[in-house]
């Protein structure tokens, strides 16, 4: 009974973490219209990675149990699918789709119906599909933000560390497209990851290292100061 209570509390905490993650990036996507600096995005992702991995190290057994339950969990699936649908529809609204202006409203109706319908008729592995779609939108944000940094930063101050986001985003795209098509692959991957406690521990340490790297890059490397921006504007003129 005590173990079940521990697992339940871990599941609730991880669900709260998921809500925070989704809420922050929905705010960035919709309220900020996907406009965020690479420095701030790097720090945000680093903090989330480090926090999640730190908790996994503190309670590996409970986290492993929650991970195994995730692929078929309905509540995270509803949150992720509906959040991804809202973010995607906002992207359609904000994109300049001149060739489709006359039928743009059908995109809202069609994709909105797909998102809501998935919550009703496609509940099997809904959490996996929802996470995959949401992460695809996050990958788009990462690539767009990296491109904006590349255009805004003076060449002399531009860091090649930006390619971390490019490689990471394309890795996310590859994995998430695979999971959308074959969502049970995430279940199999989680089963393998949690079969031995050492695997989850190693993965957590790698993610903590990546999180610390991202925080350091955001605070030190990717900052564009007003003087740097002035140099870039002068060179452009």
Q: Is residue 210 part of a domain?
A: yes
- For the record, the structure tokens of 209 come out as 């290292």
Q: pLDDT digits over 108-164, tens only? A: 899 999 999 999 998 999 999 999 999 999 999 999 999 999 988 887 778 999 999
Tell me the pLDDT band of 210, cut-offs 50, 70 and 90.
very high
User: Residue 3 — pLDDT band, cuts 50, 70, 90?
Assistant: very low
- 73 in a structural domain: yes
Across residues 190-200, what is the average pLDDT?
Answer: 93
Following CA atoms 44, 47, 51, 56 in sequence, which dihedral angle do they give, to the nearest 10 degrees?
90
Q: Which two tokens stand for residue 110?
A: 């069609």
Decide if 90 is inside a domain. yes
- Among residues 64, 70, 50, which one has the least CA distance to residue 132? 70
Which has the closest alpha carbon to 144: 31, 23, 34? 34
Residue 209 lies in a domain: yes
Tens digit of each residue's pLDDT (9 = 90 or more) over 139-152: 999 999 999 999 88
Q: Count of domains in the chain?
A: 1
Provide the domain limits for residue 19: 2-232
Alpha helices in 95-218 (DSSP H): 104-121, 126-152, 163-181, 184-195, 197-216
| Residue 158 lies inside a defined structural domain of this protein | yes
237 inside domain: no
Least Cα distance to 69 among 125, 136, 133, 18 occurs for 125
């Amino acid at each position: 009974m005590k173990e079940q209570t521990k697992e339940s509390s871990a599941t609730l905490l991880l669900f709260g973490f998921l809500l925070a993650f989704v809420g922050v990036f929905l705010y960035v996507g919709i309220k900020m219209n996907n406009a965020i600096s690479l420095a701030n995005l790097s720090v945000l992702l680093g903090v989330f990675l480090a926090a999640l991995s730190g908790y996994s190290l503190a309670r590996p057994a409970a986290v492993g149990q929650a991970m195994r339950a995730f692929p078929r969990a309905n509540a995270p699936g509803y949150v992720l699918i509906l959040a991804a649908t809202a973010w995607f529809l906002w992207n359609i609204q904000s994109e300049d789709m001149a060739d489709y202006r006359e039928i743009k409203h059908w995109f809202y109706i069609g994709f909105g119906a797909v998102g809501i319908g998935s919550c009703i008729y496609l509940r099997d592995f809904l959490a996996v599909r929802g996470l995959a779609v949401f992460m695809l939108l996050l990958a788009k944000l990462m690539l767009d933000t990296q491109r904006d940094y590349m255009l805004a930063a003076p060449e002399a101050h531009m860091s090649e560390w930006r390619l971390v986001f490019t490689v990471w985003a394309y890795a996310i795209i590859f994995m998430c497209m695979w999971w959308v098509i074959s969502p049970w692959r995430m279940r199999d991957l989680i089963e393998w990851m949690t079969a031995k406690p050492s695997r989850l521990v190693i993965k957590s340490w790698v993610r903590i290292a990546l999180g610390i790297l991202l925080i350091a890059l955001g605070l030190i490397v990717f900052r564009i100061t007003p003087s740097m921006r002035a140099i870039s504007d002068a060179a452009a003129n």
